[in-house]
Structure 1
């Protein structure tokens, strides 16, 4: 059985830094970003824990391909992608870990 996946974008409270990642479980990954689970991670260092965009894929391999594509985009194109789903850059997580 194939496992699906997500590509997602998180940012800071002021939307200054963008982080693009991929995961098979977006709830767990969101929790780990918000609780600073990974000690020496980019997301902890820059406090990038606000989920603002995601795409779901039936196959994790497709999510990985999309992640690589998005990481090669210029910032402006990434911002426009986020705005297409979430114009106000609202927190999309349904959890609060504070």
Structure 2
């Protein structure tokens, strides 16, 4: 069975607090953060905007990328977000399936 893994960043607002995470279900995980269902750091700091994500074919690759990005300087994370998402738009609505 093929599985897809994601490394993602949640933010409180443009240039706000950031969180880097990894999941095999980006839609579910982003929803949990948005609704405050994921207790801890993201709920405490109101990180509800999905501002960046990247897809990986293996859990090992995703975990390695997550660990690498977590060690990055903040400026590098901001540059990564702005390369894909210069307006810091919430990417979550684009993941949610709409009416057919």
SS of residue matched to 2:55 = strand
Deviation string for 1:23-76 (max 9, x for gaps)?
00000001100111123x100000011000000011121111000000010000
Shift of 1:3: 2.5
- Match for residue 92 of structure 1? 91
Task: Confirm or deny that 1:11 pairs with 2:27.
Answer: no
Q: Distance in 2 between matches of 1:14 and 1:80?
A: 12
Unpaired segments of 5 or more residues in structure 2? Answer: none
- Match for residue 23 of structure 1? 23
Unpaired segments of 5 or more residues in structure 1? Answer: none
Q: Distance in 1 between matches of 2:72 and 2:80?
A: 10
SS of residue matched to 1:88 = coil
> Measured at CA, do residues 14 and 84 of structure 1 come closer, stay the same or move farther in structure 2, by a change above 3 Å?
closer
Matches within 5 A, 1:15-94: 15-39=15-39, 41-94=40-93
| TM-score normalised over the length of structure 2 | 0.88
Q: Distance in 1 between matches of 2:91 and 2:14?
A: 15
Shift of 1:15: 3.3
RMSD, aligned α-carbons: 1.2
Higher percent of residues as helix? 2
